[in-house]
Amino acid sequence: MKQFQTAVKFSLKEQLANRFALGLLVIFIPMWYWLLGVITPGDAVPFKFGPTGALLQVNGHKLVLLTAGLNGLAMILGFMFFHSAHKSLAFDKRLTRSGLGRVSLIMAKALALGATTAILALYTLLILLAFWHTPNNMLEVWLGFWSVSLIYGAFGLLLGMLLNSELAGFFIIIMLSQIDTGLQVPIGNPAANKAFLKLFPSYGSEQLSTAGGFTHVFAGKDLLMSLVWFVGFLLVALGIFATRTRRKSSLQNTRKTEQ
């Protein structure tokens, strides 16, 4: 337990130290809401609602606001966790060599990811209320925001453990998040409402937030789908981390044995 508490402290410090990403979130999200809201009219647009299979006619302006929140969280939290994982990997290796258990460190990273994304998803929801005062179910909108934050936070961790190039990581996160969330919006987008979008990471989050914004339906299956994406990315990321730290320790033990 003491090791776990120490690991949690270090993991949370990693995120709090990333002031650029946090500042970007505080400034970018309201600007993104305002910009996309200004250029998008409130005309009704057809949206394929997964939980019921119905084609809903929803307010295009409000739908874009929901997607703006999802897109901003995906980009910034993906970048935030990529940067922290990439920067701290060498330090994490030193911690494990000093006796800090890998399991404790892995669990701490998962806990820090969950707590950080939950708080920042709530912040994004509160900013949304300044532009749209009456979503039907704010808890469900928050779940949509939180789930996409978990998915891209875990994806950022994965890339941070895997890639050596920061530029490559930033490019992948920006391009994937833009394509992923952008194709979900049916405004001027002929690919929207197509069946293949169910294969995209943010599909469940978009359905959740839309359900909370415009209906009284709880999109439980879409929440589960989002959690599957999150757990998948997280397990791969933590598996890579465990492998990279174990290899170094095993090599050192082999050298000591030979000596």
Position 255 scores a pLDDT of 46
70-79, 131-140, 188-197 — which is least confidently predicted? 188-197
Query: By C-alpha distance, which of 23, 61, 55 is closest to 41?
Result: 61
**CB-CB contact of 159 with 167 (8 Å):** no
3-state secondary structure of 118: helix
Residue 250 confidence (pLDDT) above 90: no
What is the pTM for the complete model shown? 0.87
HSE at residue 72, side-chain half, CA atoms within 13 A, is: 30
Half-sphere CA count of 39, side-chain side, radius 13 A = 8
**Please, what is the average pLDDT of the chain?**
85
Mean pLDDT of 120-139: 93
Average pLDDT for 80-99: 78
With vertex at residue 152, the alpha carbon angle to CA 150 and CA 156, rounded to the nearest 5 degrees, is: 115
The string of pLDDT tens digits covering residues 152-204 is: 999 998 998 888 888 898 999 999 999 999 898 888 788 888 889 999 999 99
Per-domain residue ranges of the chain:
2-250
Is the pLDDT assigned to residue 4 strictly greater than 70?
Answer: no
For residues 37 and 101, give the distance between their C-alpha atoms in angstroms, rounded to a whole number.
48
β-bridge partners, 132: none
Is residue 18's pLDDT more than 80?
A: no
Confidence of residue 1 (pLDDT cuts 50, 70, 90): low
Query: For the residues 104-109, what does the mean pLDDT come to?
Result: 77
Q: Residue 109 above 90 pLDDT?
A: no
Please give the helix or strand (H or E) that residue 59 lies within, else none. strand 54-59
pLDDT at 248 over 50: no
Q: What share of the chain is helix, strand, coil (3-state, %, to 5)?
A: 75, 5, 20
What confidence tier does 26 reach under pLDDT thresholds 50, 70, 90? confident
What pLDDT does 91 receive? 72
Let me know: does 4 contact 109? Beta carbons within 8 Å: no
Per residue in 50-64, pLDDT tens?
999 899 999 999 999
Q: What is residue 15's predicted lDDT score, i.e. its pLDDT?
A: 67
